[in-house]
């Protein structure tokens, strides 16, 4: 049901190749890089992609046709004989799902799309080298808004066409367009999304502890942990302290609920300092869980747990934990690690809890398609990617695990109820979401293992010193360059 999208080590994005290309520090990678599947799995996925794409919308009377679908009124042109290149990082089932989208576009227009996954999944280096060498792909899939801004500012990208802009406006909340807008121009089209405000739990552990409803607020969340502890669960909440990026996600979900959207935006761009009282409030709130050994066990032990192990600790046989916070891609880790728990039955999720009455809000991540050239097939392709038709093909592909923030995608398009619920959560918040904060920061601060925010929050997990953590965070943020 879900692919093995479970290696979450972010590569350093400030590569020399990208620097040569744009004259700036670039950050094109994300916290999650996809594992390649086995050759047999890839072959099966490729066959499925061909099957899924075998029934495209009807062709127009005068040739390949006609509509981008799902809120995009402008017709797609006849592009017979036109080919274009796409660079991304998807492999295995994800590549096959995206290939199904490409196949549908090709059949509707007569174009020929050629997709290439970046070698080793390191799209930052591969793309940077291609741009620096004057041979960029026609389309690239970028996961960080900062990378879009840097390439656009350097004059390397083409703005999205009027038809593409209309498709984005019709199918996505305005906040998604804002993420890919530079200097008043839209440069990127949303392709997929991750819901990063999900808390996953072991259904049997909750049942054994007598917990009959999902925690709706922070106090309920902590009480659930204590109830699990009393029932014999040794480490109720599994914290992946060994991977600093997971701690940034914890912080961001707490901060957006205690400080609000406006302050979240300011801190994202370092327009307020990390010594601000709002940061202290969020850290003190986090400390209520991170500092309670009855909930997370020894912080020193938590600092040794990598993300995949944090999930396994909740869903393997004889699991020592019952709750793990992380994004929608936890589902892929459960199945990818061959845990016995079945997603949707033994493994379920609830929304990250409200804090002090905070309104529903969500942290998200996602990928955007951008155009590096003027190939005549590119802008119609971006227009198509923004459609509900493209979103349906991507999200419905068996085993892809893809989610979409396309508001015109019907929940029934998803292959299982859990994916549908996750997709609906992305859509239902409308503009009450924000993109991952550390993904928008300079890589030296928000994206480097053992440095910057990752290391500072790991230190805080270990010692619980709020004032010291704030000062370290501010020192590291001030030392980083490239804030947008």
* Same domain membership, residue 202 and residue 172: no
Q: What is the mean pLDDT of the chain?
A: 88
For range 312-331, the mean pLDDT: 97
* Same domain membership, residue 163 and residue 127: yes
- Position 330 pLDDT exceeds 50: yes
pLDDT-derived band at 25 (thresholds 50, 70, 90) equals: very low
In this structure, is residue 10 part of a structural domain?
Answer: no
In this structure, is residue 250 part of a structural domain?
Answer: yes
Q: How many domains does the chain have?
A: 2
In this structure, is residue 432 part of a structural domain?
Answer: no
- Position 34 pLDDT exceeds 90: no
* Same domain membership, residue 396 and residue 302: no
For the full predicted model, state whether its pTM sits above 0.85.
Answer: yes
* Same domain membership, residue 456 and residue 409: no
* Same domain membership, residue 169 and residue 91: yes
Which pLDDT score, from 0 to 100, does residue 456 have? 98
In this structure, is residue 8 part of a structural domain?
Answer: no
- Position 336 pLDDT exceeds 50: yes
pLDDT digits (tens, 9 = 90+) for 404-428: 999 999 999 999 999 999 999 999 9
* Same domain membership, residue 203 and residue 180: no
In this structure, is residue 295 part of a structural domain?
Answer: yes
* Same domain membership, residue 243 and residue 131: no
In this structure, is residue 1 part of a structural domain?
Answer: no
* Same domain membership, residue 462 and residue 410: no
The CATH number linked to 257 is 3.40.190.10
In this structure, is residue 426 part of a structural domain?
Answer: no
pLDDT-derived band at 69 (thresholds 50, 70, 90) equals: low
* Same domain membership, residue 148 and residue 35: yes
In this structure, is residue 264 part of a structural domain?
Answer: yes
Residue ranges making up the domain that contains 458: 198-360+441-479
* Same domain membership, residue 393 and residue 256: no
For range 89-106, the mean pLDDT: 96
* Same domain membership, residue 390 and residue 251: no
Alpha carbon distance 205, 237 (integer Å) = 12
* Same domain membership, residue 318 and residue 267: yes
């Amino acid at each position: 049901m879900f692919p093995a999208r479970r290696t979450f080590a972010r590569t350093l994005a400030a590569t020399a190749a990208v620097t040569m290309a744009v004259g700036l520090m670039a950050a094109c990678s994300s916290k999650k890089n996809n594992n390649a599947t086995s050759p047999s799995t890839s072959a099966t996925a490729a066959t499925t992609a061909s099957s899924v794409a075998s029934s495209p919308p009807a062709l127009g009377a005068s040739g390949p046709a006609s509509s981008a679908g799902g809120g995009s009124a402008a017709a797609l042109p006849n592009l017979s004989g036109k080919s274009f290149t796409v660079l991304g990082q998807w492999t295995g089932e994800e590549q096959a799902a995206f290939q199904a989208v490409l196949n549908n576009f090709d059949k509707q227009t007569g174009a020929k799309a050629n997709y290439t996954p970046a070698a080793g999944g390191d799209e930052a280096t591969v793309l940077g080298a291609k741009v620096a060498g004057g041979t960029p792909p026609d389309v690239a899939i970028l996961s960080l808004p900062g990378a879009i801004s840097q390439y656009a500012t350097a004059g390397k990208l083409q703005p999205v066409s009027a038809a593409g802009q209309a498709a984005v406006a019709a199918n996505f909340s305005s906040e998604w367009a804002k993420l890919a807008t530079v200097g008043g121009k839209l440069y990127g089209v949303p392709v997929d999304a991750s819901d990063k405000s999900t808390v996953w739990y072991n259904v049997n552990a909750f049942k054994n502890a007598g917990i009959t409803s999902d925690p709706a607020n922070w106090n309920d969340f902590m009480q659930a942990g204590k109830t699990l502890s009393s029932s014999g669960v040794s480490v109720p909440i599994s914290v992946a302290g060994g991977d600093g990026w997971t701690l940034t996600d914890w912080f961001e979900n707490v901060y957006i609920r205690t400080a609000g959207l406006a302050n979240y935006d300011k801190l994202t761009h370092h327009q307020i300092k990390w010594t601000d009282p709002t940061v202290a409030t969020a850290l003190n709130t986090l400390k209520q869980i991170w500092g309670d050994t009855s909930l997370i066990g020894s912080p020193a032990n938590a600092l040794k747990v990598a993300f995949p192990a944090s999930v396994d600790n909740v869903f393997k046989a004889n699991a020592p934990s019952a709750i793990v916070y992380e994004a929608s891609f936890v589902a892929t880790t459960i199945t990818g690690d061959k845990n016995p728990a079945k997603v949707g039955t033994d493994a379920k999720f609830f929304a990250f809890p409200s804090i002090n009455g905070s309104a529903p809000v969500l942290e998200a991540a996602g990928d955007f398609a951008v155009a590096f050239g003027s190939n005549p097939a590119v802008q119609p392709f971006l227009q198509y990617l923004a459609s509900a038709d493209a979103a349906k093909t991507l999200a419905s592909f068996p085993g892809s695990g893809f989610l979409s923030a396309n508001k015109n995608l019907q929940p029934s398009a998803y292959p299982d109820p859990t994916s549908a619920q996750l997709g609906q959560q992305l859509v239902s918040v409308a503009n009450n979401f924000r993109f991952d904060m550390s993904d928008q920061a300079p890589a030296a601060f928000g994206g480097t293992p053992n440095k910057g925010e990752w290391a500072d929050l790991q230190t805080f997990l270990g010692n619980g010193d709020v004032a010291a953590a704030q000062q370290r965070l501010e020192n590291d943020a001030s030392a980083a360059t490239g804030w947008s």
